[in-house]
Amino acid sequence: MKNDIGEVLFSEAEIKNSVSVLAQKLAVDYKHKNLTIIGVLNGSLVFLSDLIRQIPFSVKIDTIKASTYVGASTSPNAETEIIHNTNLNVKDEHVLIVDDILDTGRTLSKIVRMVTKHSPISIKVCVLLDKMARRERGIEPDYCCFEIEDKFVVGYGLDFDNRYRNLPYVAVLRDDIMIP
């Protein structure tokens, strides 16, 4: 697996540190508030599990499954599909949507619209990575660990063809791996 990797953008230690800083910020911002964290699967699963274990008070957790890429592709589908809707009642809750990356913004703007219909007290977006260069929708992260250039990245939950999610760092794949 390591032979497929090009440049490592963020090491395991850098991610750990940044996630800790972010969790401390969330602990301050949401202290004494009812917080529901909604993770967007599959990409957020590693980030989500590291982040929630550093929040020092009780929170509710739910997930939504979104499908942006099909198979071995690095180009998003025309229409993001939300596969699993949330069952949680978020009416008296502050909601934090957690995803791996904010890229074009199609996925998170769709999820924010969908969750807003459930009338939460507030709704904010938290991502590991912000790839601003490709933004198509008017959405920005409220919380973000790292900004990245327009490169397709894998690791720490991010995949190519459902592989590489288990890498403990974020890296660019070698170009020849992505050529069909």
Residue 83 Cβ, how far from ligand XMP at the closest point, in Å? Answer: 13
Q: Which of 103, 130, 150, 175 is catalytic?
A: 103
| Cβ distance to ligand XMP smaller for residue 93 or 103 | 103
Residue 170 Cβ, how far from ligand XMP at the closest point, in Å? Answer: 9
The residue ranges that bind ligand XMP (CB under 6 A) are 40, 43, 68, 76, 80, 99-108, 152-154, 158-159
Contact 10, 146 (CB under 8 A): yes
| Cβ distance to ligand XMP smaller for residue 23 or 132 | 132
- Is residue 99 annotated as a catalytic residue, yes or no? no
Residue 92 Cβ, how far from ligand XMP at the closest point, in Å? Answer: 28
